[in-house]
Structure 1
Amino acid sequence: MVTIHNLHYSYRRQPVFAGLDLQLQPGHIYGLLGRNGTGKSTLLRNIAGFLFPQQGHIDALGFTPRKRQPAFLAKYFHIPEDFQLPDLSLPRWIQYIAPFYPDFNRRQFDHYSREFAIPAVGGLRELSYGQQKKALISLALATNAPLLLMDEPTNGLDIHSKSQFRKVIAGAIDDEKCILISTHQVNDLENLIDNVTILEEGKILFHQSMSRIAERLLFRLSFDPEEIAQALYSESALKGHAVLLPNREDQDSRPDLEMLYKAVLLNGKKINALFA
């Protein structure tokens, strides 16, 4: 679906990526986690073909994104972190955009619009920022593009809308689609993604499926001082300490993305060694 090999990119001699490699497969929802300014948006823009690799190669859906071929543009949808919708009504906007996407489904768009409670009357610019974001997400899903790139899609959404976002995204994925969601709000992707990619200072520090994470790592509360001291990562909780441990006895636990993210930044080499 997407293969990135030896990607180099910099802004005015300020390097962002220097030899980045990454593969994304269809049928998965990837969470791209990282702090602001670490290269998440730049990576998405390179995949979309808005920015051009200065060295290396990107293959997306069998196309070279930088060429911006019409057949490629019809197969992906990019939701940027910052956007401005046109001064149009919702129906007129759809009328203009839909022809560019052969698999666009108006019934799906109407369904997502109802799920998000988007007003059907008035202009797009009369909507709040959160409502505009939900309209853009609804459009992205209704295109049925096999590749969706979402940059901080939950920014501006209230708690209920974030829950609806997770619901509609989970219902939209199938074996032919790949969804890459960039965020620094780790908890917004809980119970949604099936693969975690952690980016820090232009490098992929961690790239694993949620199933392997649950298999190799153990997340739990501990009251044992020795266990806490030996943990890969620990932090104080209301009761005891939340700890991250090697899962040596095949125990069940629910991965905590926020804890995993902090642990990888602090102790990435030891954690990655458990997946070798």
Structure 2
Amino acid sequence: MFEDLDLHLAPGTIYGLLGKNGAGKSSLLNIIQGLLFPDSGQVNVLSFQPKDREPAFLQDCFMISESMFLPNLTVWDFAKTYAPFYPNFDWEQYGQLVAEFDLDADARLNRISLGQKKKALLAFGLATNARVLLLDEPTNGLDIPSKKLFRSTLARHIREDRIFILSTHQVRDLQSLIDTLIVLEDGRIIFQENLVDIMERLHFGISYREPEDPGVLYYERVPGGYYTIRRAGFEDSLEADVEILFNAIINAPQSFRELFNTQLYVR
């Protein structure tokens, strides 16, 4: 699945993990969690090797998968059952999150909607205070108000000692949260940069005619014209559209490797 994969993650950061279907996003999260094992190489998370499944590691890493099977327990009983495995679990925090997400504490997890399940698991995951939180397609099943609440809640709970990794196809749902963008392609990391550096090196704008300027690295048709990406200059830039940036990286990788001094597979 992966080849020449070298990934270093810094605490206090929310990572956006992007890639086409089959690129390896979910598999990478499962390796970090210790649910899949690499055939070669090493994976170290919080000074542990996830494949060893040590309790001290598992209590500090929580994952919300895209596909889920939840037991016939109420929202509150689920927490009572599994909170003892997480010594930093905060019951007051959990109660506040359950209320914020408008969850019925007596509702059975196997009978509520996908969106409610996602919110219940997010409330539990944040309340564990695990230092590594892995979220696979976290906004699937959420309505528009819930997505807004998800973003504000997640932003409020990042700390200097925590790492959040968000794997998603719904880029625009999450781009305001992301500090660093990671792009996977065919099991390789082809791009890894923080958004501050991206905004310093790239200019994002709108052209009302199809661009002919060779300085344009990538452009894409949007309502009203063409969204353009070029090297940063003196003009004011629009806010980066991460979804279009992802398309640009996938379709014109050489331009971005040269600009960001990125190797073929790994930064």
- The interval holding the TM-score normalised by the smaller chain is over 0.9
Letter in 1 for 2:40: Q
Q: Distance in 2 between matches of 1:63 and 1:186?
A: 31
SS at match of 1:164: helix
Q: Distance in 2 between matches of 1:134 and 1:189?
A: 15
Shift of 1:228: 5.0
Q: Quick check: 1:47 aligned with 2:32?
A: yes
**Residues 90 and 128, structure 2, Cα contact 8 Å, conserved in 1:** yes
Q: 2:218 maps to which residue?
A: 233
Alignment of 1:102-181 (within 5 A): 102-181=87-166
Q: Quick check: 1:17 aligned with 2:2?
A: yes
Q: Which structure is higher in strand share?
A: 1
Q: Deviations over 1:109-161 (max 9, x none)?
A: 12222222111223222211210111011100010000011111111111111
**Residues 228 and 243, structure 1, Cα contact 8 Å, conserved in 2:** no
Shift of 1:272: 2.4
SS at match of 1:179: strand
Q: 2:17 maps to which residue?
A: 32
Larger relative contact order (CA 8 Å, sep ≥ 6)? 2
Letter in 1 for 2:48: F
Letter in 2 for 1:236: R
Q: Distance in 2 between matches of 1:236 and 1:68?
A: 47
Q: Which runs of 5+ in 1 are unaligned?
A: 1-15
Q: Distance in 1 between matches of 2:239 and 2:152?
A: 19
Q: Distance in 1 between matches of 2:193 and 2:41?
A: 23
SS at match of 1:192: coil
Q: What is the total number of aligned residue pairs between the two structures?
A: 261
Q: Deviations over 1:183-234 (max 9, x none)?
A: 1121121211111001111111110001001111111112465555541111
Letter in 1 for 2:175: E
The percentage of counterpart residues that share the same residue type is 43
Q: Distance in 1 between matches of 2:109 and 2:211?
A: 58
**Residues 11 and 163, structure 2, Cα contact 8 Å, conserved in 1:** yes
Q: Distance in 2 between matches of 1:158 and 1:198?
A: 26
**Residues 151 and 174, structure 2, Cα contact 8 Å, conserved in 1:** yes
**Residues 228 and 241, structure 1, Cα contact 8 Å, conserved in 2:** no
Shift of 1:252: 3.8
Could you tell me the TM-score, scaled by structure 2's length?
0.93
Q: Distance in 2 between matches of 1:99 and 1:250?
A: 55
Q: Distance in 2 between matches of 1:172 and 1:54?
A: 35
**Residues 19 and 56, structure 1, Cα contact 8 Å, conserved in 2:** no
Q: Distance in 1 between matches of 2:64 and 2:130?
A: 12
Root mean square deviation, CA, Å? 1.5
Shift of 1:250: 7.0
**Residues 205 and 237, structure 2, Cα contact 8 Å, conserved in 1:** no
Q: Which runs of 5+ in 2 are unaligned?
A: 262-267
Could you tell me the TM-score, scaled by structure 1's length?
0.90
SS at match of 1:17: coil
